Structure 1
Amino acid sequence: MSWQPELDELRAREAMAKAMGGPDKVARQHQGGRLTVRERIDAMLDPHSFHEVGAIAGRASYGPDGELKEFTPSNCVMGRGSVEGRPVVIVGDDFTVRGGSADATIRDKPIMAERMAAELRLPIIRIIEGSGGGGSVKTIETTGRANLPGGVGGTWLYHHTGDNLSRVPVVALGLGSVAGLGAARLAASHFSVMTRETSAMFVAGPPVVNAMGNNLSKSELGGWEIQCKAGAVDHAVDSEEEAFAAARRFLSYLPSSVFELPKRLPSEDEATRREEGWLSVIPRDIRKPYRARALLEGLMDRGSVFEMGRYFGRSIITALARLNGLPVAVIMGDPMFYAGSWTADACAKVIRFVDLADTFHLPVVHLMDCPGFMIGLEAEKAATIRWGVRAMAAINQCSVPWCTVVLRNAFGVAGAIHQPANRYTIRYAWPSARWGSLPLEGGIEAAYRADIDAAEDPAAKLVEIEARLQKLRSPLRTAEAFWAEEIIDPRETRRLLCEFATLAERTLEPGQRARGLRP
């Protein structure tokens, strides 16, 4: 006698689980332009690589004879798979079952997914659609009591949601309406993506918010433009397929955990490549900006630049890239926004990105053009200096190799934090570099007011003083005193950066940082 009847029952239960919320709910999902959770998992992972854990977990009812009568699967689908051959953990919300809320989930499934990622040292991909929190208003009736957030003794999901940031790469894809704990799980990641037309994220959705006297749609309250500009979400795409592609690309730059090192890939781009345009890319007129992203693309391996957080803290560009095949983290000033001044948002962006680089052992390249912290009333209201010194602390606390190239401006306190202050780093400057405690422009009239007022021709005197000081401010004068290490030909920059990557790779060490990474 075999155990085939039990296997037949197992297969029947698996088929029920794969039916999710039923044909009508699946059809509604598709009508909304969204894939089901199982379709998403198949699209995210390498073909046929998904190994589901807890496939038949759910809520069942039985007849008088003890036979299965009804079955509703858990709306959390999780397990292991692979992305471009690398093993990963994946966990997804099934919106076709109670809208992805906790009423239909089993708490231990998402907890086990997070624990699996931590202890097997695997990246985790969260596919989020729904609230996924402690329940809905109906939960009070179904349980007969109100839920105290955090429970007794804490909640493991909350612990792992934050703790995994210091252990393994965490990717979160918001592919529908995401609220409550679902929003927290989306934000508590290294890289998050929303779809422009079909997703929204909020602490509480329109029904709750509008009950307070508002009249907002999902997109008005938490659409991609709101969340990407605020920095709560990193990236927005037009389709779910693009979201999966972005997740795959992000993971390609990182090791599987902090206990490994990023892998160098073969590069077809010449490490010694020179471009004549780099010699004139920085305008002599300091009031004129330049296209920072075009320069960034040229200096890194061709096609390797992967920008993160483009719409947040826009005076700073943060991107993953490769130099001669080695993954690096790049910070670059963007003079198109506030002339590259560091706003409070830009400082927050730098902190998170430097922490990411330090956690996953990515050497940092800083292509610097910063005239200082943003000034003015709004900057003061945003506590820019507080965020600035937090950025200073993050940069000084990081331990990965660091190379700075001063392209143009380096002024004030913000100028001082272009590299860690407590250890050796490599630094170069272009001939276009300008630096000091503060820019001369606007400061000469205050510093030399007596001389200017006493002159027969005050305007001519101002021009004379400015010309004299401009000569003294030459970066060559600074290098003459060894107050700056090297002034380089801009056309040599890629070669020197690739050399930096080779030197940096020798010093990288796997392991977990003493200080955990914050969301």
Structure 2
Amino acid sequence: MSIQKKLLDDLKKRRKTAALGGGQERIDKRHAKGLMTARERLGIFFDENTFQEWGMHVDHACHDFGMEGKSLPGDGVVTGVGWVDGRPIAAYSHDATIGGGALGQRHAKKICDLMDYAIEGGMPVVGVNDSGGARIQEAVESLSGYGQVFYRNVQLSGAVPQIGVIAGNCAGGAAYSPALMDFLVMTRENANMFICGPGVIKGATGVDATMEEIGSAAANATLSGNVHFVADNDEHAMGLVRELLSYLPPNNLENPPHLYNDQINLDEDEAMNQIVPKDAKDTMDMYEVIERLLDPGQFLEVHKDFAQNLIIGFGRINGMVVGLVANQPMVKAGTLDIDASDKGARFIRFCNAFNIPLVTLVDVPGFLPGVSQEQGGIIRHGAKMLFAYSAATVPKITVITRKAYGGSYLAMCSSDLGADMVFAWPTAEIAVMGAEGAVNVLYRRELDAAEDRQALRAQFVEEYRDRFASPYMAASHGMITDVISPCQTRGVVSLALRNTLRKRETRPPKKHGLIPL
């Protein structure tokens, strides 16, 4: 056997061993549970034959607790760069078949090297989390490794998109890296994410808790709002990441992938007129408006199961990528509460960082009243919406469909907060409060002295609504760009976006970035 053939055979053997991770037996066990391996997850994510792996031959650096004679191929993580729809993406995937995917010194270095490369190359980072956490045998070195990863999460924030996938264990300090990313996808089964498990909670507080209550996909997506998308399985999760990336630019210096259509259709959509309820007291389903406003099949809702009184997501209007923010009157009457404010503000700030125009659909009666809301800090949480819209320099188009009362009118991107164009339907009511409430305050004496209180009240309500809450009142003061028929909405918004895409607005430099809210 020639030396050259011997070396090539050795290389082939090493690569085969690395590709098997913790061995075929462990792989089979994962498959039996419906789980993919680290490489399989990346294999279905990237375009075929585009993945270039980094650090396949890296091994661990621990020499204590019997680790000195043990090999951990790749040190429990697969890292590299590949292509998704023709665009480069940096990705890492924990290999739970190797030491439970626990993070050690060299494991962390592989991830950090990849993240450094991503920010230099201006490409998104995708991290698939399936790890037992810090490698206990490496003690402080593993903690240092997590710190270095967290530091880079923050350095990359607002510069390149970061997407995390929770596909297995993600507990304790390990949860903070995905929490520092922009979006999280979590599989419905076989995955969990928490800081303290049921045993720790029981020991510290005496409270019995289940994993379903604190660490499941349902708990993280619906109650805590940590997770933005819930996937049925690994394949579905990686598909969601691909779909999400299709709306995002590779970095903050480039525009999102608009699919320009030179011919804007200004035809009126009569079906949009039928969506508006005949009685102003009846609720309107904002999803019906969104469906007719956006291009067919071009809407990816974010945080669907959390704070459902506010709808957010990415879509396209006449091919142009937009970030959509809309009140949902079917839930809590569309009011803004603590969770909805956090949800909206964080999304708005992401869109602003990555040059994604904002389209806001308004039907909001106010901030949610209640003792729990006041004590929970609705003032500081609601202020995040005001801050996010005011700070945003991307194109901002607002459509007021019906109610827009008080501070919530401002918080939903009014012209005073920098909206470039604000359109209102004839059904819009813009006022400090609803006509009924205003009449009770303004005409209290007249109503108390009236023989027929209800008839006089109805008269005052109608007069107040026509005179003070009408969109024409706001339009006469230059606060509304135009009053339009609902059927004109898609064409008008399309044209407004096209006219605003080249917007450039410079703000005084400040030392703050895109931070999780």
- Please give the TM-score of this superposition, normalised by the length of structure 2: 0.91
Matched, 1:325 2:346: no
Structure 1 counterpart of 2:372? 378
**One-letter amino acid matched to 1:201:** M
**Residue from 507, 514, 517 that aligns with 1:517:** 514
Distance in 2 (alpha carbons) for counterparts of 1:116 and 1:21: 28
CA displacement at 1:443 relative to structure 2: 3.8
Other structure's SS at 2:466 match: helix
Q: Deviations over 1:379-401 (max 9, x none)?
A: 21221121111211111011111
Contact 1:331–1:364 (8 Å) recurs in 2: yes
**One-letter amino acid matched to 1:233:** V
Distance in 2 (alpha carbons) for counterparts of 1:217 and 1:27: 28
- Sort the Cα spacing of 1:422 and 1:307 in 2 relative to 1 into closer, same or farther, 3 A: closer
- Sort the Cα spacing of 1:484 and 1:84 in 2 relative to 1 into closer, same or farther, 3 A: closer
CA displacement at 1:148 relative to structure 2: 9.3
**One-letter amino acid matched to 1:309:** H
Structure 1 counterpart of 2:339? 345
Q: Deviations over 1:239-297 (max 9, x none)?
A: 21111111111101111111211122255996324321211312132332122112102
Contact 2:172–2:196 (8 Å) recurs in 1: yes
Distance in 1 (alpha carbons) for counterparts of 2:410 and 2:280: 20
- Sort the Cα spacing of 1:278 and 1:464 in 2 relative to 1 into closer, same or farther, 3 A: same
Contact 1:373–1:385 (8 Å) recurs in 2: no
Distance in 2 (alpha carbons) for counterparts of 1:48 and 1:509: 42
**One-letter amino acid matched to 1:271:** N
Other structure's SS at 1:58 match: coil
Distance in 2 (alpha carbons) for counterparts of 1:487 and 1:463: 26
Q: Deviations over 1:209-234 (max 9, x none)?
A: 34444444432321111111221010
Structure 1 counterpart of 2:480? 484
**Residue from 487, 493, 509 that aligns with 2:489:** 493
Structure 1 counterpart of 2:428? 433
CA displacement at 1:422 relative to structure 2: 5.6
> Higher helix fraction: Structure 1 or Structure 2?
2
The equivalences for 1:27-426 within 5 A come to 27-59=28-60, 71-73=71-73, 74-102=75-103, 106-133=107-134, 135=135, 139=136, 142-143=137-138, 149-150=143-144, 155-212=147-204, 213-229=206-222, 230-265=224-259, 271-419=265-413, 421=416, 423=418, 425-426=420-421
Other structure's SS at 2:513 match: coil
Moved more, 21-30 or 463-472: 463-472
Matched, 1:449 2:444: yes
Contact 2:72–2:99 (8 Å) recurs in 1: no
CA displacement at 1:60 relative to structure 2: 8.8
**One-letter amino acid matched to 2:56:** A
- Sort the Cα spacing of 1:246 and 1:267 in 2 relative to 1 into closer, same or farther, 3 A: farther
Other structure's SS at 1:107 match: helix
Contact 2:30–2:36 (8 Å) recurs in 1: yes
Moved more, 364-373 or 285-294: 285-294
Structure 2 counterpart of 1:65? none
**One-letter amino acid matched to 1:445:** N
**One-letter amino acid matched to 2:439:** I
Other structure's SS at 2:166 match: strand
Distance in 2 (alpha carbons) for counterparts of 1:508 and 1:328: 17
Contact 2:327–2:362 (8 Å) recurs in 1: yes
- Sort the Cα spacing of 1:36 and 1:183 in 2 relative to 1 into closer, same or farther, 3 A: same
Distance in 2 (alpha carbons) for counterparts of 1:201 and 1:331: 27
- Sort the Cα spacing of 1:380 and 1:94 in 2 relative to 1 into closer, same or farther, 3 A: same
- Please give the TM-score of this superposition, normalised by the length of structure 1: 0.90
**One-letter amino acid matched to 1:442:** G
Structure 1 counterpart of 2:501? 505
CA displacement at 1:414 relative to structure 2: 1.4
Distance in 1 (alpha carbons) for counterparts of 2:276 and 2:383: 29
Distance in 2 (alpha carbons) for counterparts of 1:272 and 1:351: 31
Other structure's SS at 1:372 match: coil
**One-letter amino acid matched to 1:517:** L
CA displacement at 1:501 relative to structure 2: 2.0
- Sort the Cα spacing of 1:483 and 1:18 in 2 relative to 1 into closer, same or farther, 3 A: closer
Other structure's SS at 2:346 match: helix
Other structure's SS at 2:275 match: coil
**Superposition RMSD on alpha carbons, in Å?**
2.7
Q: Deviations over 1:445-491 (max 9, x none)?
A: 23322111122333333223223223213323443454433111111
Moved more, 326-335 or 186-195: 186-195
Contact 1:274–1:492 (8 Å) recurs in 2: yes
Distance in 2 (alpha carbons) for counterparts of 1:38 and 1:238: 19
Moved more, 113-122 or 216-225: 216-225
Q: Deviations over 1:93-126 (max 9, x none)?
A: 1111122212596221111121111111111110
- Sort the Cα spacing of 1:273 and 1:94 in 2 relative to 1 into closer, same or farther, 3 A: farther
CA displacement at 1:319 relative to structure 2: 1.1
Distance in 2 (alpha carbons) for counterparts of 1:514 and 1:324: 36
Distance in 1 (alpha carbons) for counterparts of 2:127 and 2:471: 49
Distance in 2 (alpha carbons) for counterparts of 1:297 and 1:264: 19
Distance in 2 (alpha carbons) for counterparts of 1:463 and 1:61: 79
- Sort the Cα spacing of 1:481 and 1:221 in 2 relative to 1 into closer, same or farther, 3 A: closer
Distance in 1 (alpha carbons) for counterparts of 2:489 and 2:27: 54
Other structure's SS at 1:399 match: coil
Other structure's SS at 1:442 match: helix
Other structure's SS at 1:91 match: strand
The alignment of Structure 1 onto Structure 2 pairs a total of residues equal to 505
CA displacement at 1:327 relative to structure 2: 0.7
**One-letter amino acid matched to 1:516:** G
CA displacement at 1:358 relative to structure 2: 0.6
- Sort the Cα spacing of 1:247 and 1:417 in 2 relative to 1 into closer, same or farther, 3 A: same
Gaps of 5+ in 1: 63-67
